[in-house]
Structure 1
Amino acid sequence: MQKNPANSFAELTFKKFNSLPKTGKPTKSEWTVLSSIIQVDSLTGDSKVVALGCGTKCIGKSKLCPLGLILNDSHAEVLARRGFLRYIYHQLKTKSNIFIYDNDSGVFRRKESIAFHFFSTQVPCGDACIVTDPTKGEEEEIASKRVKLDIVTSSDAGDVLTPDNKVFTGAKLIGENTLDPMHQVQGSLRTKPGRGDRTLSMSCSDKLSKWNILGIQGAFLDMFLEKPIYLESLNFSCDFDMDSMKRAIYMRWKEREHKSSRFIAQEPQIQLATQCSFEFSQDADKNASPNGLVWCDVPEEKVPYEISVNGKKQGITKKLLQSKKSSLKISKLNLLEEFLQLIKLNPHFKTKLGLKIDDELKTITYCELKQKCQEYQNSWKTLKESYFQQWTTKPENLLSFNLLSCNKES
């Protein structure tokens, strides 16, 4: 009998989690969500976890940082994906065993045998949690069509267990005309759950759906790669509704056209791990762990494992809270630095971005650089018009930092 791949991915993830230091992990009275990205080489048969994240927290709009130091979103899925970005940067900056540099095209080509898979211990917050009620299906569908597609310009764990053990999303509907932001409407975009100050971070269902079209590499890394990086499968060790999961990831956009030769909507395999359970899974009698954990497959000297609290490094003194020393390796600021270091190693990309001297790399802002990733940004703009009309827009001042200004603040 063929082994269920989801069970293998779960086993690999739990083994890696258990190998990490105990510091920062949940106590016996706490729970968390664990997510990972697994690399599989079909040629050799080797599989390994390359990034892992634990967390359930998200900060509100008023606490967002204009210097790129604080993580806005510390849900496990997002932490794992950010750790994955660090892993890819490391691969591109060293003698990679998964990428080959193509001198003719000037980009990195991923080896055909390499694929990436996603695993999580909980259903992603947002649309994937909303299960069709057979007695109210027609009513819910009508309600879904009535939701206004407003563009928004301006935490705690959110998915809650009910007495009958069904999970409902705490992610909130978007738009001023939404009478009940907690209404379990199918197919709608939502912001992350959180008590008090509302977040600007999109639900994990929505982020996974975006990555399913644009790839998980993001705008910066997309410049260096021949093709986007898509997740071949999504795997879960918790019960979930297959129809709801498919709807959240790709079915809700099925009839909407998106013309792009580079970015193509995927239909990944969605699988249940049946032989493993996570010891820190959500429990109504426990509190959500306040910590976020992130690990990625980079050398020890590059600090592969970090613990976060409120989007910053654990244990940072009050004096250093507004300095670069408080930021995690997966923060916007540090990933910007990774991007610029890679450009310095490949002058071809400096020319591609229209940058002439190294000093420009220190003064150009995060926002300006993102806009220079034109093919990705053009496709994202089109997607927001046709798929993701309600996707939140962060104030421009939160994206106007650069390496020079941040180092001065430090």
Structure 2
Amino acid sequence: MNYVLFTVEKEVVSMGTGTKCIGKASMSSNGDILNDSHAEVIARRGCVRYLIQELHRAVSGRGSSVFRSADQRGRWTLQPGVSFLLFTSHTPCGDASIIPMTDSQSKPRPPVTSVHGCEEADGGGSVKRKAEELAEGEKPKLPRFEGEEADETKRAGTKPTLQSDPTKTHDDASQAASAFTRDQTEQVHDIHRTGAKCVSGGPADPLHPGVGYHSTGVLRVKPGRGEPTLSLSCSDKLARWGVVGFQGALLSHYLEEALYFSTVVVGKCQYSHEVMHRALISRCCDVSDLPAGFSLCSPVLLQSSLEFPFSQNQTDLQHRAGQGRVSPCGAAISWCNVAEQPLDVTANGFKHGVTKKMLGTSKSRSLLCKLELFRSFLSLVAATEPSRLPDTLRSAKLQTYWDYKQASRRYQQAWQQLRTQAFPRWPRSDRNLLLFH
């Protein structure tokens, strides 16, 4: 008998928690407010910080464990065997959360006693999601932080790994998901709801009782209290990253190929493999004519047996009458594997603890906001020898954040194809919010 051994090294490069969004009236034309603080978005933006650091090492000749030089001048590609995995403790908000509810999910789950003991927890619990309510008479001192009424506190991370042979694990997971879906077909009486609202101009939620409450497969924006937001749901953003990559327009200047998640893992919670596939993959499967370096990514979708010990479900189970109202934490926490300032804690789109006097200064800004990431990118450009700059960064006309994004021509072409063919109602960004430098 012959054996093939694989060595897999996993490294957490970014982690994030968060459940909130900024209302559109509170968005800043200076790029200094963190608009979307959902866990998946926080983890992805932390990963961008990590990628900028690794590219900085590469262009400076110090060597990177992630990137190696590509054939095109100034371009870089992943080292052989490196891939990225996204873990989220809960299904992404929006379309992926519109999950059939079965009879078995009406049974409460026992509390999680420890991370190592999570695998022994029983079945799924039906969780009605709650909107965070401001205390009566409370007036926030900073621009109001809009909350999503549907999603519990979550935790997400991205991990680069060396590929191993996953065939058996994926087949088993697929069979389990298929069996679960067939069982649901006979028992479905209702669906788990999402607080994300359908974008204007498209199909609306019928709001019928039971399974007819939501429309499925449509774009949604994350809700706020009163004032709407402009932030698309995490389901929609993950679907977009599956075509244009999670690296964004700026880093596409330096990369020969877009970066995709090879695997998306969801923790133990309400979950449907079929629904996840619809939300993240099926909606974009017919997109064609993508530019070189971009493709349709179909990540492996898996569910973990581990439940986040501080999920809303576990919190509700352990909450005792008379202890007061349970509300999601208003702060968002980011940690990423960078040498300087790896930890970033925000609230209301600003650094946690900011006073009115600090607003408008660097002390108030999250390291994940557009302005800070743009400045980190400009530092990367400055560190690159002029003769090794990518061709798309050689124009003297590049000044604003908008200029640099638009100059990433292949990325913009890919985004245009995705928008035209799959997401024609995706709201366009206000250019006036992107003209900072």
- Partners of 1:339 and 1:160 lie apart in 2 by 32
3-state SS of paired residue (2:375) = helix
In terms of mean alpha carbon deviation, does 71-80 or 378-387 score higher?
378-387
Write the letter of the residue equivalent to 1:298.
V
Alpha-carbon distance between aligned partners in 2 of 1:380 and 1:76, rounded to the nearest angstrom = 23
**Secondary structure, aligned partner of 2:279:** helix
2:149 to 133, 149, 158: 158
Select the residue among 192, 203, 212 that pairs with 1:167: 192
The residue aligned with 1:6 is none
The gaps in structure 2 that reach 5 residues or longer are: 58-62, 103-145, 153-188, 208-212, 320-325
Indicate if the aligned counterparts of 1:258 and 1:383 stay in contact, CA closer than 8 A: no
The answer to whether the 8 A contact 1:53-1:79 is kept is yes
CA gap of 1:196–1:263, structure 2 versus 1, over 3 A, is same
Q: Say whether residues 1:248 and 2:273 are aligned partners.
A: no
1:157–1:288 CA contact under 8 A, matched in 2: no
Q: What residue in structure 2 maps to residue 376 of structure 1? A: 411
8 A Cα contact 2:73 2:390, kept in partner: no
Does 2:428 align with 1:401? no
Cα distance, 1:384 vs. partner? 0.8
Q: Deviations over 1:111-141 (max 9, x none)?
A: 121111000111101111113589xxxxxxx
Q: Work out whether 1:325 is the aligned partner of 2:366.
A: no
Match of 2:74 in 1: 106
Residue 288 of structure 1: aligned partner: 328
For 2:379 and 2:7, the matched residues in 1 are separated by: 31
Q: Find the structure with the greater CA-based Rg.
A: 2
What is the alpha-carbon distance in structure 1 between the residues aligned to residue 303 and residue 252 of structure 2? 30
One-letter identity of the residue aligned with 1:280: F
Q: d(CA) in 2 for partners of 1:156 and 1:319?
A: 25
Aligned-partner SS, 2:312: coil
- CA offset at residue 98 of structure 1? 1.6
CA displacement, residues 181-231 of structure 1 (integer Å, 9 cap, x when unaligned): 875111101111222110101000000000011111111111111211110
Residue 303 of structure 1 is matched in structure 2 by 341
Rate the CA distance shift 1:200–1:331 in 2: closer, same or farther, 3 A.
Answer: same
Counterpart code for 1:158: E
* 1:236 is aligned to 2:266: yes
Question: How do residues 1-400 of structure 1 correspond to structure 2 at under 5 angstroms?
Answer: 44-94=7-57, 95-102=63-70, 105-131=73-99, 155-159=146-150, 167-176=192-201, 180=205, 183-237=213-267, 238-274=269-305, 276-283=306-313, 284=316, 286-299=326-339, 302-346=340-384, 347=386, 348-349=388-389, 352-356=392-396, 364-400=399-435
Aligned twin of 1:138 = none
SS where residue 118 of structure 1 aligns? strand
The two structures, once aligned, show a CA RMSD in angstroms of 2.4
Q: 1:251 to 1:102 in 2, by over 3 A?
A: closer
Distance of aligned partners of 1:115 and 1:160 in 2 relative to their CA distance in 1, 3 Å threshold: closer
Match of 1:17 in 2: none
Q: Give the CA deviation at 1:159.
A: 2.0
The amino acid across from 1:251 in the alignment is S
Confirm or deny: 8 A CA contact 2:254 2:390 kept in the other structure: no
Q: Distance in 2 between matches of 1:111 and 1:334?
A: 27
Q: Measured at CA, do residues 194 and 104 of structure 1 come closer, stay the same or move farther in structure 2, by a change above 3 Å?
A: closer
**Equivalences, count:** 331
Query: Identity across aligned pairs (percent)?
Result: 36
- Which secondary structure state, in structure 2, belongs to the residue aligned with residue 292 of structure 1? strand
Question: How far apart are the structure 1 equivalents of 2:363 and 2:310?
Answer: 30
Q: Per the alignment, in what secondary structure is the counterpart of residue 385 of structure 1?
A: helix
Residue 174 of structure 1 deviates from its aligned partner by 1.1
Give the equivalent residue in structure 2 for 1:38: none
Q: Partner of 2:345: helix, strand, or coil?
A: strand
For residues 315-339 of structure 1, give each alpha carbon's deviation from its aligned partner in whole angstroms, at most 9, with x where no partner exists: 1121111223211111100111111
Deviations 1:75-130, CA, capped at 9 Å, x for gaps: 00000000000000001112311211247532112112111100011110111111
SS at match of 1:47: coil
Distance 1:165 1:319, change over 3 A: farther
Does the aligned pair in 1 maintain the 2:100–2:192 contact within 8 Å? no
Task: Judge conservation of contact 1:173–1:181 (CA < 8 Å) in 2.
Answer: no
Report the TM-score when normalising by structure 1.
0.76
